Structure 1
Amino acid sequence: MKITMIGTGYVGLVSGACFADFGHDVVCVDKDAGKIAAIESGRMPIFEPGLDHLVGSNAAAGRLTFTTDLAAGVKGADAIFIAVGTPSRRGDGHADLSYVYAAAKEIAEALDGPTVIVTKSTVPVGTGDEVERIVREARPDLDIQVVSNPEFLREGAAIGDFKRPDRVVVGTTGNERAIDVMAQVYRPLNLNQAPVMFTGRRTAELIKYAANAFLATKITFINEMADLCEAVGAEVQDVSRGIGLDNRIGSKFLHAGPGYGGSCFPKDTLALVKTGQDYDTPIRIVETVVQVNDLRKRAMGRKIVKALGGEARGKTVALLGLTFKPNTDDMRDAPSLAIVQALEDAGARIVAYDPEGMAVAAPLMPGVSMAKDAYEAAAGADALVLVTEWDAFRALDLKRLAASMNGAVLVDLRNIYPRREAEAAGFALTRVGGKGISA
């Protein structure tokens, strides 16, 4: 099949490359000529493990091409995916759908025959209805079907998630041709027996938001349990394991830390809250999750200052990890942003190291000095803070780190190191959700 992907951001580029790897002919369209040129030369606009190889191999095989010419890109396409950004709109938290609607209008005007337009971007309930209105108004002469196909990709594991998904959700209005086209698009997954759910279009749009809101709620729940554990003398890692072994609950997203960030959870929870308000069905649980998570990230800065004895002015704090999670260079709503702001407000000097995120992070935190590795970051510091759980930070030489520092404070916001190991290296350890005796 011929597939056109509008947008070469995180979702568009990963999805386009994976579809091509399945054997489809894929054209990726983007207005940014510089981005297209960079991709064609092998430079990816995002860091995602394995993406450069996947793009390069499929481009070399002729299955994956790139263009800035939308009209040429959509010509003869069986399915056209809209994968443009839907950031939170300033002022009210609603998803900004201007890019989606603009893409729909341009696609409709450029079409030369019947096709299926697929909304891959994360969009609120009812967006597909508006896309269909825009398309039909522009091209009443063509049989164009509009489908919702939300993505469920985890940054850092997106290729595996696409090729071995828990499920594929396709929302249609019941049109048989649209259903058949989407079944053919995802036919390569049959071997993996990945369930393809066909639902109503509005249902598919809501599934995406409901999934992300539920996961954000699990994270926020265990973070609040961590605070309670610290107050009563319990251990959050044991609490997490104890409840996660219940198969009705499950262990994923029950790791206490500095709060969630990234490109999805913050904006999607906000958008879901706004949708509930618009339809006069407020979602109080998600409203609280949003508020608690915002407070959580700022509280981590105070936690570090407390570990320093209550005074950070004139002291140096080394941060390990800046991105919101490992295996990405994404800094959107990363907890490190709030932590840096809190520490700078307290008068601390900050040195940081991240395996992939420093180029993206540097303009966002101009007062932070970037180090070449974890050991350079720690040298001369009064406190060392583990912010992001990169694999490179899981087996550091703690004795070497402690010996190079002015202070002996280790604040482990991801509970990577057991207390006995940290204290044996000479550190005073502060963890999240307990003392870590059993860890």
Structure 2
Amino acid sequence: MIPAIPSAGRFALAGARMLAAHVPFAAESVDRDGFVLVDLLIDDGRFADVAAAVAAPAADAPRIDLAGRIALPTFVDAHTHLDKAHIWPRAPNPTGDFMGALDTVARDRAANWTAADVAARMDFCLRTAFAHGTSAIRTHIDSIGPQTRISWPVLSETRDRWKGRIELQAAPLFKIESALDETHMADVVAMLDAHGTGVLGAVTFMVPELSEGLNALFALAERKGWDLDFHVDESADPEARSLSVIAETALGRRFPGRILVGHCCSLAVQPDDEHKRAVELCARAGLSVVSLPMCNLFLQDRQAGRTPRWRGVTALHELSDAGVNVMIASDNVRDPFYAYGDLDMLEVWREGVRVLHLDYPFARWAPAVREAPAKAMGLGLDGVRPGAPADLILTDAREFTQLFARPQADRVVLRAGRRPPPPPDYAELEALGIAS
């Protein structure tokens, strides 16, 4: 059991087990999982000292002995859909597959996504993520027809309200063909100019307009100084190869910004020569790739009466070996694309280990839930160092197999040295007519 932690003031956490990559000193003794033992002095919500553990820390403060329990820095979640979250009870996916999700969301969006509805569900999500230990999130915002002018002001207000607790970014979501629709793009640009966070994006498919649409978005991003974020090839069709087209476009234009591509499912089922070519193009173009292990495990290769034959995720190991910045993220939460989830990046990491074999060594993949998404999002990380906010996740595990064997529901999250409120109760959603 994790010892009781003071609610405020000055105190020392002794014998915390942290990854050597997360501490600001050269560790002399690193265990097989990459951990070192650390003493942390916290004062008024900030780290006052971070040092290698000693037998009896000389801090003039109450001493809490963690006895080698794992302490983690907070997470970064680079791909979510806060505007869709928690609508499953009023909009269940009748088939559980991708097309069923698209149709169900479209109906619910048209009928129910008022500013108040979107705002309430976004705030519910952020309180949940904050309680679980996430400090930065990028969400995709459905930017289709009238919804564009409803959701973006809500995003802006939410971002302002959460400033200092969660860094919130957003990217628009629409079909790549819509990039060629002047009326549509005028609305999108107006909303991004007024409420955006410097990120432009779309969903890419192998449609005749793909190259023209991509070039239009790349050109717009170049003019505005924006980054790009695409949903890519979320399909089991090996002919879905828009990932390579995106990389070729980036190379041909010498695009100067960051590009994050999500899903890329079909890469895992393509012939070896095309697979290798796409991986090499991603590396040359400097793309970052985010895999969504829980949602894609749920959606991909789903056929009634048939056991799925593959896991739905992309070729993360091959991409990483080629030098591509790779990560995992939450994606959808309790909506027609994924009926489960809780914006809990420790759950995402735990399931990513199982689905994607993100282990042996475990420490190699730890950046996939923090440093890699921060890089893709252009974020600086305070980290665990003197003067930084005392943001930590304390667990009752002492090695990685223990960390991932249990859901760590008893973790202790510290934000600026204090425990945040617990995740909100689902009963709050009853006023929106979406509670079970």
Common topology (TM > 0.5): no
As a proportion of its length, which structure holds more strand?
2
Task: Tell me the TM-score range normalised by the shorter chain.
Answer: under 0.3
Q: TM-score by structure 2 length?
A: 0.25
- Tell which has more relative contact order, 1 or 2 (C-alpha 8 A, sep 6+): 2
Q: TM-score by structure 1 length?
A: 0.24
Larger Rg: 1
